[in-house]
Structure 1
Amino acid sequence: MEAQLTEARPRDRAATRQRLLEAARMLFGEYGYTQVTVRMIASAADANIALVGRYFGSKAGLFGEVLAGEPTVRAVVEGDRAGLPRRLAEYAAERMSHDPESPILRSLERSAGDPEIQALVRERLLAVMIEPIAALLGGPDAHARARMATAVFLGLGSVRRLVGPETPSPADVDRLTAVFELCLGLESLP
């Protein structure tokens, strides 16, 4: 009987941890990081408040875990260097045509300036976008060029959130491709 209880605990822990992640994702997405409390998350997950600290260290640690589970642009960055501007433009255009599917992306819009999570957001942006683009680019100022393209990409998302979704035309995709080519400085690289 004792073996059965021991075996049940890890599943309960995993299930509780998952409930906390799901509750945090929902609440952060709806209210933003600053407005959500650990108590709110624990209550929504039907879990003890102390478990947030045990499993994630802090509210910021929990936010980091939620952020780590969000989609990335990895598939867009993978591929040949010359095709990167077009891939970025097509991906950005596709995202412009519908509301953000991720509540965490909406939360980041409201909460990225919060001192508790600024480092997490910065690390995530570096890891999933800037560093992979810089590595693909190589050459002089690769990091600065990757930051410029990332700024354009994120700016497009901000406009979509403020103005609403709009389906870009093929000419819009061509213009975005040209903008990304300039940002990435590919015309000057061998």
Structure 2
Amino acid sequence: MTTVKPTPPAKRRGRRPAGQDTRTALLEAARAVFGESGFEGATVRTIATRAGVDAAMVNHWFGGKEGLFAQAVLELPFDPRDLIGELLDGDLDDLGRRVVRVFLTRWDQTGADTFKALVRSVAGHDQAAQALREFFLNHIFGKLSAKINADNAEFRATLCASQLIGMGMIRYVAKFEPLASTDIETMVQAVAPNLQRYLTGSLD
């Protein structure tokens, strides 16, 4: 007599195990959803669904939406010290060109999800506004101005930040054409002269 073995139950699909891959999936999904909806508009359920995990995993790994936002968006995706070294490596007269090229290249490569999430969350989340200020003013343009010993360093830093944030808004958030799809070198040629004046030129 042949014994028929029972068929094992099918494994559930669509959910990731509660391991490091779950955490990574949540971070990636959170950057995308915060970028689309901002902090107030994003929900834990939407992020978890995008990541393919149970919503309870957000609390398990991050303690809630606030903690997830802090990990996914407020933490810089690269070391600002490395960025400053890269920007200052070359002729000072070409600094504006390097700034535009480096930022657009990095943002294009990453899909600008962190930038979009920060910008969309500024109005409803004080930490997002503080993160933008610290990144552009303290970490980047404030240090650049100090390195090149420019006068009106704080004013120059805010002018530079307005140029980069405005460019990022139009290219990645509002997606105005043709600027949104213009190649990087064309953008460098168009934007860098104004940024160079903010950095080293006369503001009179």
TM interval, shorter chain, is: 0.5 to 0.7
Paired position in structure 2 for 1:64: 70
Distance verdict in 2 for CA 1:144–1:53, change over 3 Å: farther
CA distance, structure 2, for counterparts of residue 55 and residue 122 of structure 1: 28
| 1:40 aligns with one of 31, 43, 46 | 46
State the Cα RMSD in Å: 3.7
Unaligned runs of 5+ in 1: 1-10
Which whole-Å CA distance do the structure 2 matches of 1:56 and 1:122 have between them?
24
Aligned counterpart, 1:112: 122
**CA 1:128–1:63: 2 relative to 1, 3 Å:** farther
Alpha-carbon distance in structure 2 between the residues aligned to 1:154 and 1:62: 24
- Which one-letter code corresponds to 1:113 in the other structure? A
Q: Within 5 Å, give how 1:121-132 maps onto structure 2.
A: 121-126=132-137, 128-132=139-143
Q: Highest relative contact order (Cα 8 Å, sep 6+), 1 or 2? A: 1
Residues 105-184 of structure 1 aligned to structure 2 (within 5 Å) = 105-116=115-126, 117-126=128-137, 128-160=139-171, 161-163=175-177, 164-167=180-183, 173-184=188-199
Q: What TM-score comes out, normalization by structure 2 length?
A: 0.63
Bigger CA radius of gyration: 2
Q: Give the C-alpha shift of residue 144 in structure 1.
A: 2.2
- Between 141-150 and 127-136, the greater mean CA deviation after superposition: 127-136
TM normalised by structure 1 equals 0.67
Q: Within the alignment, does 1:103 sit opposite 2:119 as a pair?
A: no
Identity of aligned residues (%): 25
Cα deviation, 1:129-148, whole Å, max 9, x if unaligned, reads: 33432343334322321221
